[in-house]
Amino acid sequence: MSRPGSCFNEKGVKRNGEATCCVSVLSDPHGTPATRLLSAFREDTHGKKIYLAGKEFYNEEGKTFGLDIVGKIKQQFNTDPTICPAYPPSLGLTGFTQQVTDVTLGKSCRALVENRVFSVQTPGFTAAVRLGAELLRHWHGVSDDWCGPVYLSSPCDDSLANIFRAAGVKDIRRYSYWDDEKRGVSLEKLLEDLDEAPEQSVIVLSASAHYPTGADLSQNQWMSITQFMMKRQLFPFFVLPAQGLCHGDLKRDAWPVQYCASQGMELLCAQSLSHCFGLYGEAVGHLVCILEQNSLLLSVQSQADKIVRSLWAQPSDTGARVVATVLSNPAHFVEWQGEVKHLVERCMLIREILRQKLRLLGTPGCWDHLTEQRGLYCCAGLNGEQVEYLTNRSHIYLLPSGCLNVSAINGRNLDYIAESIHLAVSASL
């Protein structure tokens, strides 16, 4: 028998609770707010225009960064006669999936020991989410009429809803996450919304460096949420779109996933390794799946293989090989981690300098939340009027929610951004 809280019974069939399908307000036939924002930025001819809504990590020169260790390894590949171009297996390079799974879950993870885990290399984070969504619909013979509900945080990456819809998931809902008044996560509102979710609902959770707010839950809060989800029989679908760039540590960034796994929960975890390895042209993604019973492993793997062959056939080779090489070599790993920690420290320094400049300018309000968040992204706490002021008056483009990419701020534009925020906030009073 399947234990209470499992999304799938011993036959692998999805338990479909009573829920009314609904079309989310996230639906946008003309593209996401992010794509429209980028189009507006490109059409802007102002000399001081600044784009703060990108998803890449930028260096001090405003370019996507490259890691020295990654460059060295790629050079070694180019001169290694034993490495020949070839299509990798449909589920990815075994060395890559094993290394990423071990570092995400920990080698001593009970689910790994009990052979209840399988993972798939995907062409990027989006593909990992899509595969996870497809598995939720087709997991070992699930009926095609399952359409959710799937709960996304408010705010979240606008593309997530479209990815689930593309997989045929029709019922997409929201749960509260960011609180404008508190300028942080509201655990109370979050739990209130999840308490209203039907049993077996899928809850998409950011394990670290929440996009686009940069505001994360504490370990104690994660413990509370995990116990709550187990009691309410909710299914966790973790996302890690920029793993490693929150604390500079792959394992630490994945702690919520490890904790849920330690409690015996089934789960999915979609990851991207492109950000933290500077492999933006390689699209290196990964999906981890923890089952309740190892008797389902071969069936679910077979289903995943069928889905992959219909979506992208084979993932890319070079990027995954680079990641596997770094993670399997202690010397390479130490060098890589040192470079990544430097990137994380730069983001934290930018947050601190921006906070101090706003304070010195006398900008109304408290700006301590800037340094309480982590990762690439930050919710500045600006309202719609202030965001519009920044766009129209200062030609600074950030998301409508007031969230921005911290790494896009550098020594050349920091003063201008701080002064512009000061003017936008002061003008709205």
pLDDT, residue 26, reads 31
In a domain, 10, yes or no: no
Q: Does 90 lie in the same domain as 45? A: no
- Do 318 and 344 lie in one domain? The reply is no
Query: Cα dihedral angle (163, 166, 167, 169), rounded to 10 degrees?
Result: 90
Quick one: pLDDT at residue 3? Answer: 35
- Is residue 202 helix, strand or coil? strand
Q: What pLDDT is stored for residue 355 in this prediction? A: 97
> Do 226 and 370 belong together in one domain?
no
At 139 the pLDDT is 65
The reply to whether 186 and 41 lie within a common domain is no
Integer-rounded Cα Rg, in Å, for the chain is: 22
Establish if 239 belongs to a structural domain.
Answer: yes
Query: Are both 285 and 313 inside the same structural domain?
Result: yes
pLDDT confidence of residue 148: 76
Residue 9 falls inside a structural domain: no
pTM, two decimal places: 0.89
Q: With a cut of 50, list the residues of the chain below it in pLDDT.
A: 1-5, 8-29, 140-141
What pLDDT sits at residue 379? 94
218 and 191 fall within a common domain: yes
- pLDDT, position 185: 94
Domain enclosing residue 167, as ranges? 83-330
Burial group, residue 45, by CB count within 10 angstroms (0-12, 13-18, 19+):
exposed
Side-chain half-sphere CA neighbours of 390 within 13 A: 31
C-alpha span between 291 and 280 (Å, rounded): 31
- 330, 350, 370 - which closes a domain: 330
Per the structure, how many domains does the chain have? 2
Residue 6 lies in a domain: no
The pair of structure tokens assigned to 150 is 């799937």
Q: What's residue 397's pLDDT?
A: 97
Q: What pLDDT is attached to residue 143?
A: 52
406: CATH: 3.90.1150.10
Alpha-helical segments (H) within 207-248 = 219-232
User: Looking at the domain assignment, is residue 132 inside a domain?
Assistant: yes
Angle formed by the axes of helices 414-427 and 330-360, to 10°?
Answer: 40
* Contact yes or no for 101/119 (Cβ under 8 A): yes
Q: Whole-angstrom Cα distance, residue 377 to residue 183?
A: 14
What span, in angstroms and rounded, lies between the C-alpha atoms of 169 and 237?
14
